[in-house]
A = this chain, B = another copy of it.
Amino acid sequence: MSDAAAPVRAGRRGRGGGGAARRAERTAVSVETAKYIERNIPNYEVLTEGALDTIEANAEMVLAEIGVNFVDNPAALERWKSAGAQVDGERVRIPRGLARKLCATAPSEYTQHARNPERNVVVGGKNLVLAPVYGPPFVRDAEGGRRYATMDDFEKFVKLGYMSKWLHHSGGTVCEPTDVAVNKRHLDMLLAHMVYSDKPFMGSVTEPSRAQDSLEMCEILFGKEFVQDHTVMTSLININSPLTFDSVMMGALEVFAKNNQASIISPFIVGGAMAPVSVAGTLTQVLAEVLAGVAYSQIVRPGAPVVMGTFVTSIDMNSGAPTFGTPEASHITYGAGQLARRLGLPYRSAGSFCGSKLPDAQAAYETANSLNMGLLAGVNFMLHSCGWLEGGLVASFEKFVMDADMLGTLHHFAQGVDMSENGQAMGAIEEVGPGGHYLGCEHTQANFKTAFWRSDLFDYKPFETWDEEGARDTQTLATARVAKLLDTYQQPALDPEIEARLRAYVAEKKASMPDAFG
């Protein structure tokens, strides 16, 4: 069901005073964004078919015999009853095979539309869409240290994401703007994504009413009819592991599913706390939870786009701290990818995960472990692909651009090996011969510009030059890059009338509510 290539601007452009819109477009600077990754490489599969069969059978047993809880949600219990589940209080027991059967109506891939159709993404299949960090209440940069996030920080992260070549998606709560009331900040956040970026974005999930607000703002941005027929948000619905679905998240899921907007249905697991301390046990619980959540979305609206999510960390049993980039998390990420493909669902996992307090070597080791694994595990939507620090408590400006740079390696690796005649380069080997040098040969001259991935951030200078220039480490280089990107940022073109209507909607909504904090 991919229609990424189709022109879908009808109802958006042209409307709302062509002159002003055209003027806005003329003055905007074009920012280069790579197309989402279309893998030309195999996936890595850590589990045998037999192991997958066992985990699937165990997950069915969990759903049928233990069941899941749908909390404070009588309508959901009614829906489950009608669908054939056994409901006992808030406990829903799903007969073997039922959940998987209900999941079958979920699409295996879908297009999420952006206001700039060149930024549309297709989630699923062999694709990988990269989105930034989500949720940190703190931010950090080298100059200001660690502090509570504000709306100003939020806007800066949206701008950095817009300017990052390897990021395909603007994300959602890139940080929690704590200087805006809890009940209002979703409006400012969505406005920032809509105005300061033209990449696709996520909707609010913290109340069903906020999901509804997200939808209404999308109707202004994309046009009401367009939103009815097209998916314009992919939002994050966490499951309260183990096996619990709360009414807030389910309420938001209901709003999105009814309106054909996409949801990532995602267990949130610190292994050993919210799931068994073993990989196979965790995968069983993850699969049971996803089956129940996705099945529920399809009861609400068959065909609603959903993504199988898996957020799993291990735990340091000495300190109780969640740990990242660990081999056990990798096993789970690879295994869950296999389960998602057998279920025929797009898959969300991995990210720039780390436990470190600073964007230092620990952070980079842990992050690289997770990013590489995400690519090879067949992840289709990678939330948190850049900027994550300190177990997700902090969004780091420096790490955002460091990780975003490193995402380029995933794009290049995913291209696979060029086996064309030019790739085989037999002429070059013959031309150079034993003891020769390839730098000057024709094949090198013809190919060197695109042959190798090159970091836009890392240091490749001779030692002496690097030393004279201040012996800067990666964080110091990243501080300079953040400043440069924000200095040269220019807002992407947006019809001024649409922008005015969005701002009016937000102002009106905010004025209608008292401030709620905490």
Q: List B contacts of A461 (CB < 8 A).
A: 319, 321
**CA of A438 to CA of B359, assembled, Å:** 31
Chain A, 235-291, CB within 8 A of any chain B CB: 240, 242-244, 271-282, 284-285
Q: In the bound complex, do residue A358 and residue B471 qualify as a contact, i.e. CB atoms below 8 Å apart?
A: yes
Q: How many residues of A are in contact with the other chain, CB < 8 A?
A: 123
Q: In the bound complex, do residue B459 and residue A356 qualify as a contact, i.e. CB atoms below 8 Å apart?
A: yes
Contacts A452-B272, A453-B328 known; A434 to B278 CB distance under 8 Å?
A: no
A278's contact among B326, B358, B423, by CB below 8 Å, is which?
B423
Task: Give the contact stretch, choosing among A1-9, A22-30, A61-69, A167-175.
Answer: A61-69
Q: List B contacts of A426 (CB < 8 A).
A: 58, 61-62, 281, 284
**A430 sits at the interface (CB 8 A):** yes
Q: List B contacts of A240 (CB < 8 A).
A: 435
**CA of A251 to CA of B385, assembled, Å:** 50
Q: In the bound complex, do residue A460 and residue B358 qualify as a contact, i.e. CB atoms below 8 Å apart?
A: no
CB-CB nearest in chain B for A410: B327
Shortest Cβ distance from residue A107 to the other chain B in the assembled complex, whole angstroms:
28
**CA of A364 to CA of B359, assembled, Å:** 11
Q: In the bound complex, do residue A281 and residue B423 qualify as a contact, i.e. CB atoms below 8 Å apart?
A: yes
Task: Give the contact stretch, choosing among A73-81, A198-206, A365-373, A500-508.
Answer: A365-373
Contacts A361-B402, A417-B335, A433-B243 known; A439 to B273 CB distance under 8 Å?
A: yes
**A432 sits at the interface (CB 8 A):** yes
Copies per complex?
2
User: 0/1 per residue, A317-337, Cβ < 8 Å to B?
Assistant: 111010101111011000100
Shortest Cβ distance from residue A491 to the other chain B in the assembled complex, whole angstroms:
30
Shortest Cβ distance from residue A392 to the other chain B in the assembled complex, whole angstroms:
12
Q: List B contacts of A44 (CB < 8 A).
A: 42, 44, 376
Shortest Cβ distance from residue A66 to the other chain B in the assembled complex, whole angstroms:
6
A315's contact among B272, B435, B452, B466, by CB below 8 Å, is which?
B452
Q: List B contacts of A105 (CB < 8 A).
A: none
Q: In the bound complex, do residue B279 and residue A435 qualify as a contact, i.e. CB atoms below 8 Å apart?
A: no
**A419 sits at the interface (CB 8 A):** yes
**A213 sits at the interface (CB 8 A):** no
**A47 sits at the interface (CB 8 A):** yes
Q: In the bound complex, do residue A66 and residue B433 qualify as a contact, i.e. CB atoms below 8 Å apart?
A: yes
Shortest Cβ distance from residue A88 to the other chain B in the assembled complex, whole angstroms:
12
**A226 sits at the interface (CB 8 A):** no
**A228 sits at the interface (CB 8 A):** no
A272's contact among B284, B417, B451, by CB below 8 Å, is which?
B451
**A155 sits at the interface (CB 8 A):** no
**A118 sits at the interface (CB 8 A):** no
Shortest Cβ distance from residue A421 to the other chain B in the assembled complex, whole angstroms:
10
CB-CB nearest in chain B for A335: B417
**A416 sits at the interface (CB 8 A):** yes
**A425 sits at the interface (CB 8 A):** yes
**CA of A487 to CA of B496, assembled, Å:** 68
**CA of A316 to CA of B458, assembled, Å:** 11
Q: In the bound complex, do residue A424 and residue B69 qualify as a contact, i.e. CB atoms below 8 Å apart?
A: no
**CA of A463 to CA of B145, assembled, Å:** 13
Q: List B contacts of A275 (CB < 8 A).
A: 438
**A428 sits at the interface (CB 8 A):** yes
Q: In the bound complex, do residue B244 and residue A434 qualify as a contact, i.e. CB atoms below 8 Å apart?
A: yes
Contacts A42-B45, A274-B438 known; A323 to B474 CB distance under 8 Å?
A: no
A434's contact among B242, B366, B376, by CB below 8 Å, is which?
B242
**A298 sits at the interface (CB 8 A):** no
Q: In the bound complex, do residue A278 and residue B424 qualify as a contact, i.e. CB atoms below 8 Å apart?
A: yes
**CA of A68 to CA of B284, assembled, Å:** 55
**A153 sits at the interface (CB 8 A):** no
Binding site for B on A (CB under 8 A): 41-42, 44-47, 50-51, 54-55, 58, 61-62, 65-69, 91, 146, 240, 242-244, 271-282, 284-285, 314-319, 321, 323, 325-328, 330-331, 335, 355-369, 372-373, 376, 390, 393, 399, 402, 406, 409-410, 412-413, 415-419, 422-426, 428-430, 432-439, 443-444, 447-449, 451-455, 458-463, 466-467, 471, 473-475
23 contacts between A and B (CB under 8 A): A42-B46, A66-B434, A242-B433, A271-B452, A277-B443, A278-B422, A278-B451, A281-B426, A316-B454, A317-B452, A318-B460, A328-B453, A330-B413, A331-B413, A358-B471, A360-B364, A361-B363, A361-B364, A362-B364, A364-B365, A368-B368, A368-B372, A369-B409
